[in-house]
Amino acid sequence: MAAKGGLRQPYPVIEPFDQGNLKVSDLHTIYWEVSGSPNGKPVVYLHGGPGGGTSGDDRRFFDPAVYKIVVFDQRGSGKSAPHACLEDNTTWALINDIETLRNHLKIDKWVVFGGSWGSTLALAYAEMHPEVVKALCLRGIFMLRESELKWFYQDGASHIFPDIWDSYLEPIPVAERGNLMQAYHRRLTGDNQEEQIRCAKAWSKWECATAKLYMSPENIAKAEADQWAVAFARIECHYFVNKGFFDRDDWILHNLHKIKHLQCVIVQGRYDVVCPARSAWDLKKNWPSAELHIIDDAGHSATEPSIKAALIEAMDKFRDL
């Protein structure tokens, strides 16, 4: 299924054959769905953000005749409830949710697929539960290190997108710009709803505008939707000011020895500004057997043609696991 130029195209649009809402705590319920082959090889899709939620196109990376495709919205995201809720919302809670869902669906082992924050969660989940992971397919590596956060939310990326950066700065008074994540966090968790929405849109626009090699008006328009922007910005900022709830900056690399026996494919845009290639390179250097593909005509987004094609090709290879 190759297009002009030889790029693999997404699999056809499909609908879930099963879906539901799973209560994972006294407070939280997560939306989940299963599509593809009921008796296929299980794969779980971990969305980005955190707070980004899922869409129907997320099913299309996987051959529906081969894979049993599990997609779910993480706490506070998408169709999960309560919406944009930060209480009891941590990396460890999400890892427990993945296990709760796996057991609910009676799956023994699965391939774990995740990009951006989804790569963080995929790596952390695999390191906590290596016995139930068959392989990893990762995109836009993000290990939630302080250097990565400062690059995108405090300084570095501003030199590449100064015009969009000014829009990101605009809601924050000059006196508070020494720590932009904390300044945003105060407003995104404050009682002033009008200010919360304004800041949520500015935060979300910054990421949506910088996610692709060629700026996408359609992608930027996502940030104008109040409900989506509030969940995306609040949950992201909550995780980032709490440093992913990891007890050390290099938590993922420190625990990498637990999963080095697994197959892993990494797809990384050369010009990814959101999650620069340094992190993918650091992961590869510490995991020599991992297969790294640096895509020279792409940024961060999984919807960029070359990124998308490489992810589909990786999952086609995993059919033989």
CB-based burial, 159-174: b 16+ in 10 Å, e otherwise: eebeebbeebbebbee
Annotated catalytic residue, options 28, 47, 238, 300? 300
Q: Tokens 């086609």 appear where?
A: 316
Token pair, residue 239, equals 């995780």
Token pair, residue 99, equals 């296990």
8 Å CB contact between 268 and 116 = no
Annotation says 272 is catalytic: yes
Annotated catalytic residue, options 58, 63, 97, 272? 272
Distance CA 261, CA 311 (A): 21
- Nearby residues of 114 by Cβ (< 8 Å), 6 or more positions away: 45, 46, 47, 48, 120, 121, 122, 136, 137, 138, 139
Annotated catalytic residue, options 77, 116, 279, 306? 116
Which of these, 144, 107, 103, lies nearest to 123 by C-alpha position? 144
Determine how many CB atoms are found less than 10 A away from the CB of residue 261. 8
H-assigned helices in 129-216: 146-153, 162-169, 180-188, 193-210
Annotation says 159 is catalytic: no
Annotation says 116 is catalytic: yes
Q: What are the residue numbers of the active site?
A: 116, 272, 300
